[in-house]
Structures are given as structure tokens and as C-alpha cells.
Amino acid sequence: MRNRTTGVPVALLEVSGVAKTFGALRALDGVDLSVVSNSFHGLIGPNGSGKSTLLKAIAGDHFADNGRIRFDGRDITTMRPARRSRLGLSLKFQITAVLPELCVYDNVLLALQAHQSIWGLLRSNSRRALHGEISETLDRFQLLDRADDLAGELSHGQQQWLEIAMALTQRPKLLLLDEPTGGMSPEERRATGELLAPIRAHCAMVIVEHDLDFIKEICDRLTVMDNGRILDDGTVEEIERSAKVQEVYTTRV
């Protein structure tokens, strides 16, 4: 979406001056972040710098103590998480949340059904449509041949892909991913980059990662956090040249 007069892309997500404290700790201390539609935005920074807290504030898992968050033209600062999700915000946490005792197919089915009315579910043509959508989703994430296996039997990387696939069934406008490649093998990381790339056609992404090579490869812009503040923000090339960022990464990470 672009501003009609200036032609400048309008931000899909606009975080301004967001603060969050836990007791005496300032986990977020006046954070600004702007993400445009169909872009991949990386969030990096040392352990405890506030990355997960920021994603949770955007998704509504925590409420900001101060500041504003706008999403797709609306102020969502005090909106409940379920409403934010209905507007097109989807968060996948650091820890996998698939149901291990259910088969892979049924995990995706449950995620899809969460958005259907009971009457829609009872219609047989709707069930056929669901089957097509589940198969297509599993195929896209290289999981079709594992459809009947228990989700708990998948490798760690495949479980992460399943969870991303489940998040995408909600057709979000913005997907928030917290360390999706944590614990993955190098081969699974490479495959994750390839699986995420096509999402850009219909969805923007904010992704937290410690693997700098991975994040530089897939993101358009990077925001660097340190001690609950934004240390720097820019294109991948700008951040690579940033003296402030180099200082933090060479002395503390």
C-alpha cells in the first residue's frame, strides 16, 4: 500500500515509543519500528535485549505500558490478541506449539477449522475444500508425505515448518517469527529460507534470529536491539557497515 500523494509505501506496522517494564527492569524502553507490506524485517540483538518482548507486545501477548502500535491503519495498542489475530497478525513463538499426539494432517486441519463457522464445517463441499487446502499447505512445506505420521515424530525442523504452515492458514498480513531456526541443522536452515521466500507475495514478516548469515540472506531490513532500545535500523548493507552494531557484536555477543 502506498501514500496516494507521495508514493511512499505506507507502513503495515508502526510501533512508536513502546515501553514495557517487568518490576524494575525496562525490557522495552521507547521502541520504534516500522514494517511495510510484503517485506521481511529482521530483529537482532544480544540475549535479553527485548526482541521476544517486542514481538509479544505487537501480538498482544503483553500489553505495552507506554507508546502506540498501529497495524493496517488501526490502533491495536490495547486490543486483545484474538482481535489482532483476526486483523491479520500471527505470532509463532520460540517454542513449538504443534500437537505431537495428532497426525500432521490433523494439526493443519485444526488450524484451518479455527476460522470456520460450525455450519461451514458441516457442509461436505467445505470439507472437500479444506482437504485441498491442507494438501496444498503440506506440499508447500515439504510435509505431504508425512501427512499421516504423528507430529511428534517429525524432526525438530519439520515441526517448525508445520507450525509456520499452521500460522499461515490464518492468511495473516504479518507473520511474527521468534527464532524459527533455533535447534535446526544447517541443511534445515537453508531449506527454511527457501520455504519462507514465497510467503512475501502475500505477507510481511518480522523475524527474530541469532543466525546472522540466515537473517542477512532473507531480510530486506534489519533492526538491532540492545538493552530494550533500538541500536540501529537500516538495510542489510547499512547494518553491516554500522559501527554501533559492530561494537556490540564484537564486544558482547
Ligand X SMILES: Nc1ncnc2c1ncn2[C@@H]1O[C@H](COP(=O)(O)OP(=O)(O)OP(=O)(O)O)[C@@H](O)[C@H]1O
181 binds ligand X (CB under 6 A): no
Nearer residue to Mg ion within complex by CB, 35 or 208: 208
* Residue 85 near which of ligand X, Mg ion, none (CB within 5-8 Å, type-dependent): none
Strands 204-208 and 11-22: unpaired
Residue from 1, 2, 21, 25 touching ligand X (CB under 6 A): that is 25
Q: Chain-centre distance of CA 11, in angstroms?
A: 16
Nearer residue to ligand X within complex by CB, 22 or 139: 22
- The stretch among 3-11, 45-53, 137-145, 147-155 that binds ligand X (CB under 6 A) is 45-53
C-alpha neighbours within 13 Å on the C-beta side of residue 110? 13
Nearer residue to Mg ion within complex by CB, 52 or 90: 52
Distance in angstroms (rounded) separating the CA atoms of residues 179 and 54: 13
Q: How many residues at the interface with Mg ion, by CB under 5 A?
A: 1
169 binds Mg ion (CB under 5 A): no
Residue from 14, 37, 45, 71 touching ligand X (CB under 6 A): that is 45
Residue from 37, 52, 181, 192 touching Mg ion (CB under 5 A): that is 52
Positive or negative, the CA dihedral 236, 237, 238, 241 is: positive
49 binds ligand X (CB under 6 A): yes
Supply the minimum distance, in Å, between the C-beta of residue 55 and Mg ion: 8
Distance in angstroms (rounded) separating the CA atoms of residues 223 and 205: 13
Partner residues linked to 20 by β-bridges? 28
Largest Cα span, the chain: 61
Distance in angstroms (rounded) separating the CA atoms of residues 203 and 186: 25
Supply the minimum distance, in Å, between the C-beta of residue 192 and Mg ion: 18
Nearer residue to ligand X within complex by CB, 17 or 48: 48
In the bound state, the residue with its beta carbon closest to Mg ion is 52
Nearer residue to ligand X within complex by CB, 14 or 179: 179
Q: Starting at the earlier edge strand, list the strands of the sheet with 74-75.
A: 25-36, 11-22, 66-71, 74-75
22 binds ligand X (CB under 6 A): yes
User: Torsion angle, CA of 171/216/240/48, rounded to 10 degrees?
Assistant: 70
Residue from 53, 77, 137, 242 touching ligand X (CB under 6 A): that is 53
Residue from 12, 37, 42, 51 touching ligand X (CB under 6 A): that is 51
CA angle 77, 97, 82 (to 5 degrees): 30
- Residues of the shown chain interacting with ligand X in the complex, contacts defined by CB under 6 A: 22, 25, 27, 45, 47-53
